[in-house]
């Protein structure tokens, strides 16, 4: 093992500082890019380690690549290693950091091809190690034809498997395990590729990030698209055929034949390195940071993206919300701070949008059970409205659920299920949550109105009116 | 002239109160309906006078009816007189109120068919007299083939005129005078009906509710749709042919041949009655009210809709913003208060959305000149982004302009011109304006992200980031 590398260890340090970034995706490379914008190569050396083959890609886009909406893998890559290098960031691909030595201010990295290990010292460190998929611990999950969809590599393997299964047969069947965002988006992708799709989900209804009554609407919408949704069912094993490939998945009660299986059971923070280094982790296993995205208790280590927990501004508690949009914001904040500036990430309100074909799904803030968990009492309303004026062509139905705190009337959360124009309406509620508006205040919001865009009372306003009335009526 | 009517004057009043509503459209009938919800017929008699033939219709929908998106007139009628009557509202159609006697608490109304006049006393009065079109004072503006588009009756006349002009000829030409919301929406309607459309506008660029740099984008978009846009040109007369019908409009410099002319020059508050009654009017000629929509200085008179001025929450000044969405909110507030409850309309932030075919246009808050007028200094940014992730099919370009106050960084206004998904994004800014957020705070907004709905940095966030940087850089 070498000591030194990357232009010299502590012993040879010049006045120039070195920023080391672990992880070459959204948070890490946003941080590196922003730090580079703040400080030139004369002042700051930036070294980024990435164990995979790609930098700065949109994992969120993988289902659309698989489904054929996005033509090829490279469309999902926002910036290649070469592009980063041309901006003065020393990206080391296929190089896995295996240890963080906080006391000495250095990281050990292994070149995955040569196996060679090197220590690299840092003045400032960014941990952006991302997430790892929840791997179901069941027999057969490693069989050919069973796929995760976390990385571009996963996507390529899945496409290969689909191409093999496509070989001339009709009635190809796919099973998606899990009905969260990844699960429902992959269901769309596989429907588009002509598969018969069955989604097997542990919860009674899909989209556990929604309340079950709204999840039911998602299930009905998915069933309307020809997707079979099996709820309350845990896949316990993958069954293989004589050729060793998957042929079905099994729950305790039933078997679901499958030419291809996609695992969409969610992710956990990838914090093995951080844990070994003694850095502070939260209840979800994510790194804990302050508002400037500095790892708690550390002056010169920042963390962001899918490996950190974030503050939920509505509940006041820590949450784990692995989303690309947060990762990018974290990177921006970290890069500014690591570059000598000042920026903060105040927290999230829990906004997420998704779709299955033309069915749009959105949520922000607290679900009923989230509110209960932090001791909040609330009123709930569910309203039916339309995306456009009722008389305007293309007006489509939309269901809006709204939670407001009792007595104060403060907005607590919104969930929307509908068609065109439904999902992004949740942004209004996201801003209202951030600002701490009450549902009564929301009734007067000056939202854009014209017949092609909204009924004269926007669906969010209709919900706010009903919620405000319920708060006024006042359950004791 | 009768004294009494409507079930008896003051002399015969029972314990039951009488609410009189002047104007049977959005504000008036929303107020009546809400008052009815608050109090039953035993407690409150409700009499509504409407001089026209329709109640509760969507004037905003007229361009889409003319353009053929909406099949017929009746689709635009939310509630007929009969429906209101069945809910216990005594609607008097084709009956024009000709005088408000505030001292005596009564109104005089004329039956337009019989010419008979009647006094009706009130305990509570709602003035919802709406707006009247700005009528250009020019020769020929009354010629057949020249049309306003304020009312359903106007729409019917225009459709008749179009049907006449449609008679077998190709190359039919329409001129729209004015390039505000009505003008651009009518340009779309006429394009859809196969007309060659010329829009003649006094301002240099269309959409004076936008800054000229954004108006230019609208013009370019309209030109791309085949619409001829003539700016900086005032129509001074309408030229007629031998048949007396319009044949062209003329400015000082040029003539524009026209089979049909549509006037879309905007509206003013219809407050003739209120003025005669000595009620307080503002600089725009609209009634002045308090937050509960009570006419200033009056205990039992409310006013709402297109005949009132409203508080602009961003500038702190009174404005005139005739929009159906405000009228409906006013009606709701008035009906609650007149029904013995309590509700307020805090004001507007100036949100408006529109479209010309697939070109979407939105604005909220202050334009540059609005900000200057109230002594605010500001930073301005204009950013180009897309409606969806760049790699996702259908991603379309979008231009976002943002104004932020110097020093404080408070958001002052947003204007958006783009395609699908552009207009309603302005709602995020509308809520941020209402909450008084700074552009720095906006950079951290937790807006919905998924590739079909947004780039990973929503266009509004991109603008906020740039604006925040400019505020930090700090023009002295």
Per DSSP, the residues of A328-363 read HHHHHHHHHHHTT-------B---EEEEETTEEEEE
Per CB-CB distance under 8 Å, the chain A contacts of B353 are: 448-450, 453-454
In a domain, A445, yes or no: yes
Looking at B67-180, list the stretches that DSSP marks H as alpha helix, in order from N- to C-terminal side.
Answer: 81-86, 152-165
For residue B35, pLDDT over 70 is answered with: yes
- Provide the pLDDT for residue A169: 64
Q: Are residues A35 and A155 in the same domain?
A: no
Closest CA to A160 of A250, A73, A224, A276: A73
Q: The complex's ipTM?
A: 0.94
Per CB-CB distance under 8 Å, the chain B contacts of A342 are: none
In a domain, A204, yes or no: yes
Per CB-CB distance under 8 Å, the chain A contacts of B357 are: none
Per CB-CB distance under 8 Å, the chain B contacts of A60 are: 389, 449-451, 456
In a domain, B304, yes or no: yes
Q: Are residues B416 and B460 in the same domain?
A: yes
How many structural domains are present in chain B? 3
Check residue B33 and report its DSSP letter.
H
- Tens digits of residue pLDDT in B47-104: 999 999 999 999 999 999 999 999 999 999 999 999 999 999 999 999 999 999 999 9
SS3 content of chain A, % helix, strand, coil (to 5): 30, 30, 45
* Contacts of residue B38, Cβ cutoff 8 Å, sequence gap at least 6: B44, B335, B336, B338, B339, B340, B341
Q: Are residues A125 and A213 in the same domain?
A: no
Tell me the C-alpha distance between A414 and A433, whole Å: 10
| B224-252: average pLDDT | 95
Contact (CB<8Å) B355/A453: yes
Contact (CB<8Å) A450/B424: no
Helix H, strand E, coil C: the string for B258-296 is: CCEEEECCCEEECCHHHHHCCCCECCCCCECECCCCEEC
- Tens digits of residue pLDDT in A107-148: 999 999 999 999 999 999 999 999 998 877 889 999 999 999
Nearest neighbour of B432 by CB, restricted to A325, A431, A453:
A431
- Provide the pLDDT for residue A135: 79
For residue B451, pLDDT over 60 is answered with: yes
Q: Are residues B367 and B438 in the same domain?
A: yes
DSSP string of B85-102, one letter each residue? HHTT-EEETTEEEEEEET
CA distance to partner chain A, nearest, from residue B24 (Å): 17
- Provide the pLDDT for residue B166: 64
For residue B149, pLDDT over 80 is answered with: yes
- Which residue in B388, B413, B450 has the most chain A C-beta atoms within 10 A of its own C-beta, making it the best mutation to test that interface? B450
A63 to chain B: closest CA residue: B451
For residue B9, pLDDT over 50 is answered with: no
- Provide the pLDDT for residue A170: 66
Average pLDDT of chain A is 94
Percent of chain A with pLDDT over 70: 96
* Contacts of residue B163, Cβ cutoff 8 Å, sequence gap at least 6: none
Tell me the C-alpha distance between B177 and B141, whole Å: 11
- Tens digits of residue pLDDT in A50-59: 999 999 999 9
Tell me the C-alpha distance between A341 and B250, whole Å: 60
CA distance to partner chain A, nearest, from residue B36 (Å): 16
- Provide the pLDDT for residue A1: 44
| A387-406: average pLDDT | 96
Domain stops at, among A265, A292, A325? A265
Q: Are residues A119 and A21 in the same domain?
A: yes
- Provide the pLDDT for residue B15: 76
Enter the tokens of residue B258. Answer: 């026209």
Closest CA to A412 of A346, A317, A315, A320: A315
Tell me the C-alpha distance between A209 and A363, whole Å: 8
Closest CA to A190 of A55, A98, A66: A66
DSSP string of A167-215, one letter each residue? SS-SS-EEEEE--SHHHHHHHHHHHHTT-EEEEE-SSSSS-TTS-HHHH
- Tens digits of residue pLDDT in B322-365: 999 999 999 999 999 999 999 999 999 999 999 999 999 999 99
- Tens digits of residue pLDDT in B304-323: 999 999 999 999 999 999 99
What's chain B's Rg over C-alpha atoms? 24
Q: Is A282 helix (H, G, I), strand (E, B) or coil?
A: coil
Domain stops at, among A265, A287, A320? A265
Beta carbons of B58 and A389 less than 8 angstroms apart: yes
Band the pLDDT of B14: cuts 50, 70, 90: low
Q: What is the span of the domain harbouring residue B304?
A: 10-132+268-338
Position of tokens 């164990």? A51
For residue A14, pLDDT over 70 is answered with: no
Q: Are residues A304 and A236 in the same domain?
A: no
Q: Are residues A325 and A368 in the same domain?
A: no
Band the pLDDT of B168: cuts 50, 70, 90: low
Band the pLDDT of B266: cuts 50, 70, 90: confident
Band the pLDDT of A165: cuts 50, 70, 90: confident
In a domain, A389, yes or no: yes
Q: Are residues A369 and A401 in the same domain?
A: yes
Contact (CB<8Å) B428/A431: yes
Beta carbons of A215 and A207 less than 8 angstroms apart: yes
Enter the tokens of residue B83. Answer: 């429906």
Per CB-CB distance under 8 Å, the chain A contacts of B389 are: 58, 60-61
Domain stops at, among B238, B265, B292? B265
* Contacts of residue A372, Cβ cutoff 8 Å, sequence gap at least 6: none
- Count of beta carbons in the 10 Å neighbourhood of residue B72: 10
Beta carbons of B63 and B8 less than 8 angstroms apart: no
CA distance to partner chain B, nearest, from residue A319 (Å): 14
- Extended beta strands in B128-188, E state: 131-133, 146-147, 173-177
In a domain, B325, yes or no: yes
CA torsion sign, B27 to B31 to B33 to B37? positive
DSSP string of B380-419, one letter each residue? EEEEEEESS-TTSTT--EEEEEEEEETTT-BEEEEEEEES
HSE-up of B374 (CA within 13 Å, CB side)?
18
Contact (CB<8Å) A58/B451: yes
- Provide the pLDDT for residue B7: 45
CATH number of the domain that residue A253 is part of: 3.50.50.60
Q: Residue A95, by phi and psi: left (phi above 0), alpha (psi -120 to 50) or beta?
A: beta
| A294-312: average pLDDT | 98
Task: Return the ∠ at Cα A194 (arms to A191 and A196), rounded to 5°.
Answer: 65
Contact (CB<8Å) B325/A444: no
Enter the tokens of residue A302. Answer: 């920042």
Q: Are residues A261 and A278 in the same domain?
A: no
A370 against B11, higher pLDDT: A370
CA torsion sign, B1 to B2 to B5 to B9? positive
CA distance to partner chain B, nearest, from residue A75 (Å): 6
Q: Are residues B184 and B76 in the same domain?
A: no
Tell me the C-alpha distance between A363 and A423, whole Å: 8
Residues of B involved in catalysis: 60
Nearest neighbour of B453 by CB, restricted to A346, A348, A423:
A423
Contact (CB<8Å) A450/B354: yes
A462 to chain B: closest CA residue: B329
* Contacts of residue A337, Cβ cutoff 8 Å, sequence gap at least 6: A292, A293, A294, A302, A343
Enter the tokens of residue B394. Answer: 């259908």
Is A159 exposed, middle or buried, given 0-12, 13-18 or 19+ CB atoms closer than 10 A?
Answer: middle
A348 to chain B: closest CA residue: B446
Tell me the C-alpha distance between B45 and B43, whole Å: 7
Per CB-CB distance under 8 Å, the chain A contacts of B328 are: 456-457
Tell me the C-alpha distance between B11 and A226, whole Å: 70
In a domain, A138, yes or no: no
Contact (CB<8Å) A453/B346: no
Q: Are residues A289 and A169 in the same domain?
A: no
B438 to chain A: closest CA residue: A435
CATH number of the domain that residue A423 is part of: 3.30.390.30
For residue A344, pLDDT over 70 is answered with: yes
- Which segment of A159-163, A414-418, B285-289 scores lowest on mean pLDDT? A159-163
For residue A3, pLDDT over 80 is answered with: no
Q: Is A407 helix (H, G, I), strand (E, B) or coil?
A: coil
Contact (CB<8Å) B424/A426: no
Query: Please, which residues bridge with residue B386 across strands?
Result: B397
Contact (CB<8Å) B391/A434: no
Beta carbons of A148 and A133 less than 8 angstroms apart: yes
- Tens digits of residue pLDDT in A63-86: 999 999 999 999 999 999 999 999
In a domain, B226, yes or no: yes
Q: Is A274 helix (H, G, I), strand (E, B) or coil?
A: helix
- Provide the pLDDT for residue A15: 76
Percent of chain B with pLDDT over 90: 92
- Provide the pLDDT for residue B6: 47
Band the pLDDT of A166: cuts 50, 70, 90: low
Beta carbons of A66 and A155 less than 8 angstroms apart: yes
- In Å, how far from its chain's centre is CA B166? 30
- Count of beta carbons in the 10 Å neighbourhood of residue B126: 33
Average pLDDT of chain B is 94
Q: Are residues A315 and A245 in the same domain?
A: no
For residue A11, pLDDT over 80 is answered with: no
Band the pLDDT of B138: cuts 50, 70, 90: confident
In a domain, B250, yes or no: yes
């Amino acid at each position: 093992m070498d000591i030194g590398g990357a232009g010299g260890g502590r012993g040879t340090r010049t006045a120039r500082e070195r920023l080391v970034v672990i992880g070459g995706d959204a948070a890490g490379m946003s941080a590196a890019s922003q730090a580079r914008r703040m400080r030139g190569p004369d002042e700051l050396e930036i070294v980024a380690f990435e164990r995979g083959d790609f930098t700065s890609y949109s994992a969120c886009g993988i289902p659309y690549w698989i489904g054929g909406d996005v033509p090829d893998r490279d469309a999902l890559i926002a910036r290649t290693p070469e592009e980063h290098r041309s901006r003065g960031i020393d990206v080391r691909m296929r190089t896995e950091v295996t240890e963080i030595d906080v006391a000495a201010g250095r990281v050990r990295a292994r070149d995955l091809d040569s196996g060679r290990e090197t220590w690299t010292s840092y003045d400032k460190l960014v941990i952006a190690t991302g997430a790892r998929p929840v791997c179901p611990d069941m027999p057969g999950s490693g069989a050919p034809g069973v796929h995760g969809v976390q990385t571009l590599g996963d996507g390529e393997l899945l496409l290969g498997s689909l191409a093999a299964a496509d070989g001339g047969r009709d009635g190809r069947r796919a099973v998606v395990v899990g009905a969260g965002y990844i699960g429902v988006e992959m269901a769309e992708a596989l429907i588009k590729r002509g598969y018969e799709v069955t989604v097997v989900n542990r919860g009674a209804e899909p989209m556990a990030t929604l309340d079950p009554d709204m999840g039911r609407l998602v299930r009905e919408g998915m069933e309307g698209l020809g997707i079979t949704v099996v709820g309350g069912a845990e896949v316990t094993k993958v069954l293989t055929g004589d050729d060793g490939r998957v042929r079905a998945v099994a729950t305790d009660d039933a078997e679901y034949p499958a030419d291809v299986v996609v695992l969409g059971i969610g992710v956990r923070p990838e914090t093995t390195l951080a844990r070994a280094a003694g850095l502070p982790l939260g209840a979800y296993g994510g790194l804990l940071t302050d508002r400037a995205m500095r790892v708690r208790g550390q002056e010169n280590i920042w963390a962001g993206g899918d490996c950190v927990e974030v503050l939920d501004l509505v509940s006041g508690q820590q949450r784990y919300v692995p989303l690309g949009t947060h990762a990018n914001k974290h990177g921006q904040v970290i890069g500014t701070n690591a570059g000598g500036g000042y920026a903060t990430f105040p927290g999230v309100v829990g906004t997420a949008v998704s779709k299955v074909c033309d069915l749009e799904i959105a949520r922000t803030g607290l679900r009923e059970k989230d509110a209960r968990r932090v001791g909040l009492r609330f009123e709930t309303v569910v309203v039916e409205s339309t995306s456009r004026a009722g008389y305007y062509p293309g007006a489509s139905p939309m269901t809006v659920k709204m939670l407001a705190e009792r007595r104060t009337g403060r907005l607590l959360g919104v969930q929307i299920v509908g068609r065109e124009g439904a999902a992004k309406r949740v942004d209004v509620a996201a801003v209202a949550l951030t600002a701490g508006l009450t549902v009564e205040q929301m009734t007067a919001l000056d939202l854009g109105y014209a017949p092609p865009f909204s009924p004269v009372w926007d669906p969010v306003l209709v919900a706010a009116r009903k919620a405000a009335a319920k708060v006024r009526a006042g359950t004791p």
